[in-house]
């Protein structure tokens, strides 16, 4: 016990967990624990400033504020509303039609925003009242939007993949390509769940408000958004970071000249203000988590945690199961970016030990963290859904349980069949 109390790795972990349990913001908990250990064990305070800036001075991370800005622009441009109208026209009055349309729209919007909470915010204001008006339970409607919006970090382009690629030194275009099939798999499982629930309660769609052909014409420019972004990346026209900048100009073009919804300077000021706020939150977490990761490597926390997992079993399936349980529990307390920086460093030696494909591991890990966005107590998607719907977290959480169960079944399939993740990158020659 005495040796443990003198172990900097122990204090690094303890000083992070204790503030977290006291509901201190994640960035402060990460930064405080790293700073305290560096000061106590005289590891060189001058290294803190270097690592602080080194953590964010990476070209791929420029894509984060760009994609956040692109998401806000496209939401204000009216693309989301037109995509919703198209899906409603396609499903018509079929049983569970609006629920299926909601899953489809949220999955599609993930290819625009790259952020779960942003997807809930963009779509929730349209879909939740629409489903409630059509006779759906409001808690079920909110849960459907919130849970499916977690796919925004799995369906490319994804901010989470950019962070994972930076930490694990994995090709971001390969991760983007790999996210397609697993994202669709999760969406299909959730669709199955909402269909069963809708049939049980007699939920239906609503009569078509306009012909499918007209809705398709209206939504055309929105549908082209992921085609432009991802087509350019896979065609070698631009990098993921450059693609984020292209997405901004495309969104502005659609909003100003096509739909004419971005029609004043005040609208642009609002968009930029929201972007700055969201970017600041993400980047302060990235910097503090980067510091924590550096200190963890220096004091041996990474090796010790890896050793504990490998010491339990040499069976890769048992270790995989344990990793998924750890990530699910971590997802209940931390955001995805923090988890990448805190947990991924000690998982990298395990990946090397078992010779696991880093692209597949990234998809599995990110899918797991997508579930974490809707599992209390720190369920960011549910919090946004609760704010929009006016319901309590308890009401939404209860309605979300079957959908979370469906997502976990999809996670099991993605974990068991790596080919689902590696097929597209290999087909496109990104390996």
Question: Which of 185, 415, 417 lies closest to 318 in space, CA to CA?
Answer: 415
Asked whether the beta carbons of 149 and 123 are under 8 A apart, the reply is: yes
pLDDT tens-digit series, residues 341-367: 888 888 888 999 999 999 999 999 999
Dist CA 410 CA 146 (whole Å): 17
SS (H, E, C) the chain: CHHHHCCHHHHHHHHHHHHHHCCCCHHHHHHHHHHHHHHHCCCCCHHHHHHHHHCCCCHHHHHHHHHHHHHHHHHHHCHHHHHHHHHHHHHCCCCCHHHHHHHHHHHHHHHHHCCHHHHHHHHHHHHHHHHHHCCCCHHHHHHHHHHHHHHHHCCCCCHHHHHHHHHHCCCHHHHHHHCHHHHHHHHHHHHHHHHHHHHHHCCCCCCCCCCHHHHHHHHHHHHHHHHHHHHHHHCCCCCHHHHHHHHHHHHHHHHHHHCCCCCCHHHHHHHHHHHHHHHHHHHHHHHHHHHHHHHHHHCCHHHHHHHHHHHHCCCHHHHHHHHHHHHHHHHCCCCHHHHHHHHHHHHHHHHHHHCCCHHHHHHHHHHHHHHHCCCCCCCHHHHHHHHHHCCCHHHHHHHHHHHHHHHHHHHHHHHHCCHHHHHHHHHCCCC
Walk along the chain (431 residues) and give the pLDDT tens digit of each residue: 556 777 888 888 888 888 888 878 888 888 899 889 888 887 766 777 777 777 677 777 788 888 888 888 888 888 878 888 887 788 766 777 888 888 988 888 877 776 777 788 778 878 888 888 888 899 999 999 999 988 888 988 888 898 899 889 999 999 999 999 999 999 999 999 999 999 888 887 666 777 888 888 988 998 888 888 888 888 888 888 888 889 889 989 999 999 999 988 999 999 999 889 888 888 888 888 888 888 888 888 767 777 777 788 889 999 999 999 888 888 887 778 888 988 888 888 899 999 999 999 999 999 999 998 888 776 778 888 888 888 888 899 899 999 999 999 999 999 999 999 999 999 988 87
Rounded distance between C-alpha atoms, residue 371 and residue 24, angstroms: 23
Q: For residues 383 and 123, is the Cβ–Cβ distance under 8 A? A: no
| Per-residue pLDDT tens over the stretch 127-179 | 888 888 888 899 999 999 999 988 888 988 888 898 899 889 999 999 999 99
Q: Give me the residue label for tokens 């049980």.
A: 200
């Amino acid at each position: 016990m005495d040796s443990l109390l003198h172990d900097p790795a122990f204090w690094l972990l303890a000083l992070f967990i204790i503030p977290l349990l006291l509901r201190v913001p994640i960035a402060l908990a990460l930064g405080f624990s790293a700073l305290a250990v560096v000061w106590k064990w005289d590891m060189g305070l001058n290294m803190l400033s270097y690592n602080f800036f080194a953590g964010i001075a990476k070209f791929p991370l420029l894509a984060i504020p760009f994609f956040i800005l692109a998401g806000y622009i496209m939401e204000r441009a009216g693309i989301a509303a037109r995509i919703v109208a198209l899906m409603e026209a396609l499903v018509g009055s079929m049983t569970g039609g609006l629920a299926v349309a909601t899953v489809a729209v949220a999955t599609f919007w993930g290819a625009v925003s790259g952020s779960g909470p942003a997807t809930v915010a963009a779509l929730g204001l349209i879909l939740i009242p629409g489903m409630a008006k059509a006779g759906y339970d409001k808690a079920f409607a909110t849960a459907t939007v919130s849970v499916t919006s977690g796919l925004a970090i799995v369906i490319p382009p994804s901010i989470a993949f950019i962070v994972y690629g930076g930490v694990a030194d994995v090709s971001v275009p390969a991760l983007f390509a790999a996210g397609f099939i697993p994202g669709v798999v999760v969406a299909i499982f959730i669709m199955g769940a909402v269909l069963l629930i809708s049939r049980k309660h007699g939920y239906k769609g609503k009569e078509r408000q306009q012909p499918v052909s007209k809705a398709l014409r209206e939504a055309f420019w929105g549908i082209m958004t992921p085609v432009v972004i991802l087509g350019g990346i896979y065609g070698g026209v631009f990098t993921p970071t450059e693609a984020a900048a292209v997405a901004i100009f495309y969104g502005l073009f659609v909003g100003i000249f096509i739909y004419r919804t971005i029609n004043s300077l005040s609208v642009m000021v609002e968009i930029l203000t929201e972007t700055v706020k969201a970017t600041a939150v993400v980047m302060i977490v990235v910097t503090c988590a980067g510091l924590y990761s550096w200190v963890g490597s220096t004091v041996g926390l990474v090796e010790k945690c890896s050793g504990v997992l490998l010491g339990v079993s040499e069976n890769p399936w048992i270790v995989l199961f344990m990793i998924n349980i750890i990530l699910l529990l971590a997802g209940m307390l931390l955001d995805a970016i923090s988890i990448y920086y805190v947990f991924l460093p000690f998982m990298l030696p395990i990946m090397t030990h078992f010779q696991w494909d880093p692209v597949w591991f990234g998809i599995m890990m990110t899918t797991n963290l997508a579930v974490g966005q809707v599992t209390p107590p720190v369920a960011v998607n549910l919090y946004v859904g609760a704010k929009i719907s006016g319901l309590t977290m308890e009401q939404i959480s209860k309605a979300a349980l079957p959908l979370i169960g469906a997502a976990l079944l999809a996670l099991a399939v993605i974990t068991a069949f790596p080919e689902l993740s590696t097929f597209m990158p290999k087909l496109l020659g990104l390996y």
